[in-house]
Structure 1
Amino acid sequence: MKIQLYLFLFFISFKSFSQIENSKKSQDSIKKEELNEIVITASRRSESWMRSPISIEQLKSAEAKIMGSPSIYEALENVKGVQIITPSLGFKVINTRGFANSTNVRFAQLVDGIDNQAPHLGAPIANALGANDLDIDKIEIIPGTAAALYGMNAINGLANIQTKNPFEYQGISIQQLTGVNHIGNVDRFSPKVYSQFNLRLAKAFSEKLAFKVNASTTGGKDWVADDRTDLAPNANASTNLFGIDNPAYDEVNGYGNESANRKTLNLNGKNYVVARTGYRETDISDYDIKNYKADFGLYFRPKKDHELSLTYKTALINTIYQRSNRFSLNDYTLNQFAVDYHTPIYQVKAYATTENTGNSYNLRSLAENMDRAYKSDDKWFADYSTAYKNAVTNGATVAEAHKIARTQSDQGRFEPGTEAYENKKNELIDINNWDIGAALRVKSTLVHAEGLLNWDKAFIPFFEKINAKLLSGFDYRNYIIVPDGNYFINPKNDGGNLTYQKTGGFTQLTKDLFESKLRLGATLRIDKADYFDAKLTPQFTAVYSPKQSLNFRASYQNGYRFPSIFEGFSNVNSGGVKRVGGLRIMSDGIFENSYTKTSIDKFQSQVNNDVNTLGLTQAAAIVKNQNTLQKNPYTYLKPEFVNSFEIGVRGIALNNALYIDADFYYNAYKNFIAQVEASIPNTTDPNLIPTSLYSRTTQSRYRLWTNSKSKIFNYGGSLGLKYRIDETFTALTNLTYTKLDRTDDKDGLEDGFNTPEFNVNGTLLVNNIWRNLGASATARYQNNFDYVSFLVSGTVPAYWSMDAQINYAFKKGISAKLGGTNILNKPYTSILGGPSIGGLYYLSLVWETNKI
């Protein structure tokens, strides 16, 4: 299948080379389109895309609209080097160049240069606070570290969504997209309606005053996460209990039966690991998606090339969100206020983003505490032991006795769909303590200010004389968290707000040499964050252009990522395990006095094995295996760091009909921020420590944010081809290769690479094939890859899918698009623990007028 798909995509891209003669009009079109295209994200100033000093991808609105994806944001999956993972139909995450996860704190996402992250996460809630399709002009993506210019922890990449200015794009636009998913028994739902509504209204009252309003709604039934793979398949291997007979059975998308909910029971002389029953996600989540967002902006142009904008954005989110656990986001709100004043010489910008998690809750904590609400752990395990022994006495086999014991112990539990269950659920999701409830209650604010100064615009004669440009910038950021007593506390001032500040600045110099065929650039950035020393971030670039249509580029840069506020300051009680931020102010003393969970798990398994197979007493087995226990070797948080080397080429060939963009990079990382689980024994007597660590009830368990000791290297490259066959046909092909090279001093703590080694997509675009009729088809493939997270680790299977659409432009500004994603309806998963994604089929109608 893999070879067939490669040949198919190769055929799409190159078949026409020998069959169709390019028209002169098409040649001129692609040359003008690519050579004159302007980008701003790569260097924070307007420049030719072809001569960008680093890799930068872009997706223009006009091109995305004629792809099979229902939205421009989702069409980014077709862009070279971009990986999109889908924790939810209403939540998609962008990543580039490896180390992806569902909360991608290493990739920044901006709208018109304004960060749209959720403050306490340090990452965006997908496109929840972003622009709607009708207002997006284009999206620019830097696939690689952008820390030197932006300082936003963007060590893996950055996306900048650029919207339409109301002075240039006036009128009313309305879009209604209606679709259907869950077709063909791909999960427990019958077909469900999916709906998106977008509105844009923009008006310039004069040359000096304009406004715009945008609004969006999205509703539907989410994809279902129902992976029943056992995460503890060998917990009872020494007693030959596997699969459905395993009393420690822990489904990927079953919650309340994780390690924190298990206990070792000695039953009739054998040790068995037994888990509480828990609940499946499909039983405790309704999967409804109801997302809303809107924005309003006023724009003033007091004089030529000067513009002041005042904008307000708001979003209300109801969807599934995935991190270390799966969450139901209910009435989750984000609000953002921004002011921006820019001229050719300088720009100043300030914004504030507020976050309120509303009535959101943790699905795992809900399941755990729903079990405990009808019967405590101690009572349940005691009942289980009694019922097991009685069953064996009455002649049941070991496997049968465990099933009988579970059935009897579960009597009285709350059953999903009953009134008693709903009442208890509503009670638990309002309790802000994950040891006894499930509520996610966070209120936070991000305040940001920045400025840019174009020295070469302020002192034109001097910089024209030396043929150089100089840009300087500064930024200030402060995170403000309202302590809730569960998720966050203020370690300095009990009752006061928690703050976390960062300040930075940069200077960038570029100079043209050899009749402007060679452009050299150097950037130096310095950042200082609370609790950390100042860090320097350099960037050096070179672009050589022997002719306008051929450009070679090379760059070296490094980048730092300071811990997010959650990584630094979290204070979460969850099922008897306390998740603690890695700053010394939060976890002082824990690192030095704890033992790693991996060694404790191994120790407990060896003890159980010796009891069950060698007939040792538990005390003797503990003494025999106590040297397995290892002290925690990790310590307090430091910033992550990456060195990045990159080369690339952009050019136009074949009589200006073929656009080529290729890049290769090599990255070296250290101090990866990750989590380690460790426990402190509830004793100071060295002789009693092993016994204390054997039992879950005699140790204090922690999950700590720290740095991996590994040095990590990865490399890769990508190739993008765009071939304009004629005025009607255009073929696009993107191939991306991403490889984890090696890990020195491997400790297994670093974040998973979580990225397919190889993916490819090919698209055939057809414009005006008959009158105003157009169409497109996209095929996409990615190979299987290892996925590592605290929720689940394993292998994400390879998959390939197809998107397609046909569109027609009617008169009077009306256009229609009939399309689908994964049109063959072959379910796949993009991440473990996430949903199974089937086909989505839709009809989109858009009405636009430039009058208002």
Structure 2
Amino acid sequence: MKVYLFILLLFFCGITYSQTTITGVVKDVNKKPISGANIKIIGDSAGTVTNLDGNFELKSSKNPPYAIEVSSVGYGAKKIDIKSNNQKVSVTLVDEETLLNEIVVSASRTPERVRESAVTIERMTAKDIKKTASPTFYDGLENLKEVHMNTSSMSFKSINTRGFATVSNTRFLQLVDGMDNSSPLLNFVLGNLIGVSEIDVANVELLPGASSALYGANAFNGILFMNSQSPFTNQGITAYAKFGQTSQKAAGNNDYYDYGIRVAHAFSKHFAAKANFSFMKGTDWFATDYRDKDLDNNVGLDRSFHNYNGINVYGDEATTNLNGVAKGLLDAGRITQSQFNSFNQILPNYNISRTGYNETDLTDNVVKNAKADMSLHIRPWANDFEIILQSKFGTGNTVYQGANRYYLNNFFMQQHKLEVKGKNFFVRGYTTTEDGGRSYDMTFTALNVNRKWKDDNTWFGQYALAYVQSTLAGQTPQQAHAIARGYSDNNIVPAGIALPAATGSARFLPGTPEFKKAFNEVIANPDVLTGSRLQDNSRIWHSDANYNFKDVFKPAEIQVGGSFRLYELNSGGRIYTDANGQIDYREFGAYTQVQKKLMEDRLKLTGSVRYDKSQNFDGNFSPRVSAAYSAGENKNHNFRGSFQTGFRNPTTQDQYIGFNVGSAVLIGSAPDNLTRYTEIRGGGGANGSISATGQAILSAINGRPTSTVTLNGENAYFNSYTAASARDFANFARANPTNLQGAAALLRKTNADYVKPETVKAFDLGYRGQIKDFAFDINGYYNIYNDFLGNLNVIAPYYGTAADNITLTGAGNPNPAVSTEQSVIAIANGDTRVFQLYTNTTLEIKSLGFGLGVSKKIIKNFEISANYNYAEFQFDQSKDKDFEAAFNTPKHRVKASIGNEKLFKNFGFNLSARWNSEYLWQSNFADGMIEAATVVDAQINYSIPKLKSILKIGASNLGGQEYQQVLGAGLIGQQYFASWTITP
């Protein structure tokens, strides 16, 4: 690292070569300066951009005569002949009323105009970033057509295009300068936490549909490209400072700030370097949803409910069968056999939970993000051949929501890349590593802070004792539960209740020294039985290459390419089943594409196919065919269509996870993974108690007294019941307590196979064009998914054999000596473990949608735009009750904006609004409805040419109605900011 920095320093301190200089100014037809315009020497790599005044200075070792090209998004390009050194030029660019001539690269891995693209594509330029009313450019992506954000934290947003996405969107790929910046451990993107600084963004391109044919298995439902600026063309020092406040009912008003600097210099036409640094800090949106997670039966379920499990309350996942506690008290010698018989008659046969802690007690709610990157760019010859050495670093604090809520505390990610590219090729290799820092799981933090104060056996024992004595004293069940909780939590002995005086302190309260000490010890410990730290030192090695034969073979444009990736999973057994050593996993792919233009370049035909192979699965081919046709005299009416079959390999989590999240175990289905995960259940304490009946059955099976059972992944996949049928069993048994046979008949054995790749057949049609002064972009899609990957919750009995259509032989009651009927007893008594499986549904899933966008420039430089998106999916839930497709996308979305960069001298503004309908949220953490939301953002900006500065004042969610995008995350409030940006 020191050598790398030393080399960078040498470049920054280097001696420049002898150069010629061209200066000039670029303006529009109204004589207004155009900032950010590109100036490039035709046939040479030298280039620059204009500053806020529209001025530029271009240095080159090339001697005149030559020509330069001046271009800017939204304007027609212009060529200027340069005849002498130190020539001064003045260029006027004419507005283009259409963006159809913009150049994009992502759609076909080769430069092409937007009108030639055969797939739907959205784009954000540096000019758009300047106009955005959002606090950051990444937030501003939500205003693009087809984009819906899933916000887990103020600094952690996940992009969702075309549905089927939670916060952990493994169907979406994000590339920064060609590098996948997904987490090696988690397999998905952490927003822009190790992305690109907004002052270094050259452009952003978004493909919202399946892109597997060119980009591999992870680009299943969309791909985002973030490209940074080259130090050869964008030089100088750029800096920004942003200060503001967030406002939320739960959190109040809190300051936040964000600042960054970019330094870039081209020492000659051969050497250039740049460095970026940015830092953001603020207060996160407080998560304060205290409804019970069982939202389907949430009427009256609050903290007084005996088995309460609040959405943003943790530690209440510690739950056990109250009737089973009596046997534990007997075995521990705390009650006599006579008392046991009495207790067994009084204690109800259902679960109770420990008292939990609110999320706001378990995190300081600070969000931070520091990003740094540096790169060296070497052009040995006077052409497009370039060598790039690049390093990126990201660290900070944020909240990620998966099966639990996790505080990523001082996490650290880094990427290092070596790339060689030219006019028609690139070869790159990079590595991504991460360190979990002091990150922790909030559920296990609360569970184990509770256990440091009082172990589960003691707490549940005191609860059971207090419940019995309260019942004997004539209290109602509700009153008995309240007394029992007060006794076990706070040592409260009500008058008239025969209870021994409890010893020891009351429950640790947040803010007290006892709580802080226990909290710090727990989050430093990775053992789930006593701690909550998330260990992670995983790594990805990746390489890919591409070559375009267009200068070798003229009849058609042919490309070939390929990639290789190695995962090194290293969580120390905390998340993956890698306690005994690192897990290595490999995959590779290769592709080719052929393009041909016909009919005077109006028709463009493209065919491509990619082959991908991973070590645990058979290879898959992903073909794509597409066509784009430009009609009209000026090619202003552009029609496109494409079809492809894509696929997605199961992620490393789908295969190798073995993650105890307290209320369930997440278990991957690689065959060698199932036996690597083992867990002892029962015996009281952290792993709960087995009912007295269950202990008797286990003792009979083992021929000795038994109060524990060992489970592994094979129990989950091969000896379990679907969670839906277990719920049906429980509901029927409560309504018909004398008809256990009817309840038993409802149980359905899990029939889950090992996870395998999912596939999609994707159809995409669209039109881009200009009709009079209106620009239109219309698209529609229809996707057919097979072997769709998802999660399945199952209930594994501690004893007995799971089976369908069980007939009870004991006069309508299960016979404890019959293995299949033993499993019925286990379900009835709560002697079970919940597992979440990674598997495929056998049902076909379909999704369809369409979008319409329209924009227009009106009088005096006002620009207005609006778009509408419709999205839905089709899945017969009744045929697979437990499978969650997690579409998580509103059916209707409307977005609109109005702005003027030149409202009057040096002033501009932008106002944007978006609305979405309500939608169902499904995830490992919680299921429920997300309400409809309307959000308005606004900004005004003022340019100070003499100071080369832009001042901006903005506000997001101006209306103040707090809204949610992820069930379990905090409500999103208002955000106000003022920023100052200095440009070269």
Aligned residues: 798
Structure 2 residue 153 is the aligned partner of structure 1 residue 88 = yes
Q: Which residue of 1 aligns with 2:380?
A: 302
SS of corresponding position for 1:405: helix
Structure 1 match to 2:766:
648
The separation in 2 between residues aligned to 1:26 and 1:541, in whole angstroms, is: 29
Is 1:782 paired with 2:916?
A: yes
- 2-side partners of 1:130 and 1:449: how far apart? 19
Match of 1:799 in 2: 933
Please state if 1:717 is matched with 2:717. Answer: no
What's the secondary structure of 1:585's corresponding residue?
Answer: coil
Structure 1 residues 823-844: Cα deviation after superposition (integer angstroms, max 9, x where no partner): 1221111121111011000000
Task: State the match for 2:955 in structure 1.
Answer: 820
Q: The residue matched to 1:631 in structure 2 has which SS?
A: coil
Provide the residue aligned with 1:73 in structure 2. Answer: 138
Q: Percent identity?
A: 33
Q: Which amino acid aligns with 2:373?
A: D
State the distance in 1 between where 2:477 and 2:295 align. 17
Contact in 2 for aligned 1:233/1:246 (Cα 8 Å): no
Partner of 1:230: 292
Who is 1:322 aligned against? 401
Q: Which residue of 1 aligns with 2:321?
A: 263
Aligned-residue offset at 1:692: 2.7
Instruction: Provide the rounded CA distance (Å) in 1 between the counterparts of 2:94 and 2:865.
Output: 16
Check the 8 A contact 1:709/1:747 in 2, yes or no.
no
Correspondence for 1:290:
368
Residue 309 of structure 1 aligns to a residue whose secondary structure is strand
Partner of 1:210: 272
Instruction: Give the Å deviation of 1:407.
Output: 1.4
Distance 1:489 1:272 in 2: 32
Find the counterpart in structure 2 of residue 151 from structure 1.
216
SS of 1:168 mapped into structure 2: coil
Instruction: Indicate the residue corresponding to 2:583 in structure 1.
Output: 498
Structure 2 distance, partners of 1:267, 1:44, is 72
Counterpart-to-counterpart distance in 2, 1:116 and 1:368: 33
Amino acid at match of 1:477: R
CA distance in 1, matches of 2:320, 2:161: 38
Match of 1:737 in 2: 870
Other structure's SS at 2:923 match? coil
**Cα deviations by residue, 1:783-806 (Å, 9 ceiling, x for unpaired):** 100111121111000010110010
Contact conserved, 1:271 with 1:608, CA < 8 A, in 2? no
In structure 2, relative to structure 1, the CA distance for the partners of 1:688 and 1:712 (3 Å cut) is same
**Which residue of the partner structure matches residue 502 of structure 2?**
none
Secondary structure of the residue aligned to 1:74 is helix
Letter in 1 for 2:284: D
Displacement of 1:344: 1.5
2:721 alignment partner in structure 1: 595
Tell me by how many angstroms 1:752 deviates: 1.3
What pairs up with 1:85-484 in 2 under 5 angstroms? 85-182=150-247, 186-187=249-250, 189-232=251-294, 242-243=301-302, 245-258=304-317, 261-265=319-323, 268=346, 270-303=348-381, 304-411=383-490, 412-457=506-551, 459=552, 462-463=553-554, 466=555, 468-484=556-572
C-alpha distance in 1 between matches for 2:345 and 2:628: 72
- Is 1:575 aligned to residue 662 of structure 2? yes
Q: Name structure 2 gaps, 5 residues minimum.
A: 1-73, 77-92, 324-343, 491-505, 676-713, 801-818
**How far apart, in 2, do the equivalents of 1:605 and 1:263 lie?**
17
Query: Cα deviation per residue 1:402-447 (whole Å; 9 max; x = unaligned)?
Result: 2121111112222111111111111111222323321110111111
Q: Distance in 2 between matches of 1:88 and 1:725?
A: 38
In the TM superposition, residue 727 of structure 1 has moved relative to its aligned partner by 4.9
Contact 1:225 1:834 in 2 (8 A): yes
What is the rounded CA distance, in whole Å, between the counterparts of 1:275 and 1:595 in structure 2? 23
1:632 aligns with 2:750: yes
CA distance in 2, matches of 1:103, 1:48: 33
Secondary structure of the 1:247 match is: coil
**In 2, Cα distance between equivalents of 1:663 and 1:803:** 26
Q: Is the 8 A contact 2:173 2:218 kept in 1?
A: yes
1:484 maps to a residue whose letter is G
Correspondence 1:523 to 2:608: yes
- CA deviations on 1:770-795 (whole Å, 9 max, x unpaired) are 21001111111001001111211110
Worse-matched range after superposition: 726-735 or 821-830: 726-735
RMSD of Structure 2 on Structure 1 (CA): 2.1
When residues 269 and 346 of structure 1 are mapped into structure 2, their CA distance, relative to the original with a 3 A threshold, is: closer
CA 1:472/1:267 → structure 2, altered by over 3 Å: closer, same or farther? farther
Paired residue secondary structure (1:122): coil
| Cα distance in 1 for residues equivalent to 2:520 and 2:471 | 39
Q: Distance in 2 between matches of 1:247 and 1:741?
A: 38
* Aligned partner (choices 615, 631, 640) of residue 553 of structure 1: 640
Distance 1:180 1:108 in 2: 32
Q: Is the 8 A contact 1:59 1:140 kept in 2?
A: yes
Gaps of 5+ in 1: 1-24
TM-score (normalizing by structure 2): 0.78
**Cα drift, residue 267 of structure 1:** 7.0
SS class of match (1:246): coil
Contact 2:97 2:857 in 1 (8 A): no
- Counterpart of 1:315 in structure 2: which amino acid? G
CA shift for structure 1 position 542: 0.6
Structure 2 CA distance, aligned partners of 1:647 and 1:783?
25
SS at structure 1 position matched to 2:964: coil
Distance 1:660 1:827, change over 3 A: same
State the SS of the aligned residue for 2:131: coil
Equivalents in 2 of 1:319, 1:742: separation in Å? 34
Compute the displacement of 1:355 (Å): 1.0
Q: For residue 117 of structure 1, give the secondary structure of its aligned residue in structure 2.
A: coil
For the 8 Å contact 1:248–1:262, the answer to whether it is kept is no
Cα pair 2:577 2:673 within 8 Å, conserved: no
Given the superposition, is the C-alpha separation of residues 700 and 402 from structure 1 closer, same or farther in structure 2, using an over 3 Å criterion? closer
SS class of match (1:31) = coil
Q: What do the CA deviations read for 1:569-599 (whole angstroms, capped 9, x no partner)?
A: 0122332743211211212634122222333
CA contact (8 A) 1:30 1:724 kept: no
Partner Cα distance (1:233, 1:818) in 2: 41
Secondary structure, aligned partner of 1:586: coil
Q: Is the 1:719–1:736 Cα contact (8 Å) retained in structure 2? A: yes
Go from structure 1 to structure 2 and tell me whether the alpha carbon gap of 1:786 and 1:410 turns closer, same or farther (over 3 Å shift).
Answer: same
Does the C-alpha gap of structure 1 residues 386 and 264 become closer, same or farther in structure 2, counting only changes over 3 Å? closer
Cα distance in 1 for partners of 2:98, 2:194 equals: 30
SS in 2 for 1:182: strand
Shifted more, 403-412 versus 790-799: the winner is 403-412
**Quick one: which amino acid aligns to residue 150 of structure 2?**
I
CA contact (8 A) 1:727 1:767 kept: no
Counterparts of 2:865 and 2:832, CA distance in 1: 58
- Work out the CA distance in 1 between the residues paired with 2:265 and 2:202: 17
Change (3 A) 1:176 1:89: same
Indicate conservation of the 8 Å contact 2:962/2:973, yes or no: yes
Instruction: Determine if contact 2:720/2:795 at 8 Å carries over to the other structure.
Output: yes
Cα 1:37–1:281, aligned 2, differ >3 Å: closer, same or farther? Answer: same
Match of 1:682 in 2: 798
> 1:706, CA displacement in angstroms?
1.2
Question: In structure 1, what is the Cα distance between the partners aligned to 2:371 and 2:471?
Answer: 60
Offset of residue 695 of structure 1: 3.8
Distance in 2, matches of 1:708 and 1:691, equals: 29
Distance 1:689 1:29 in 2: 77
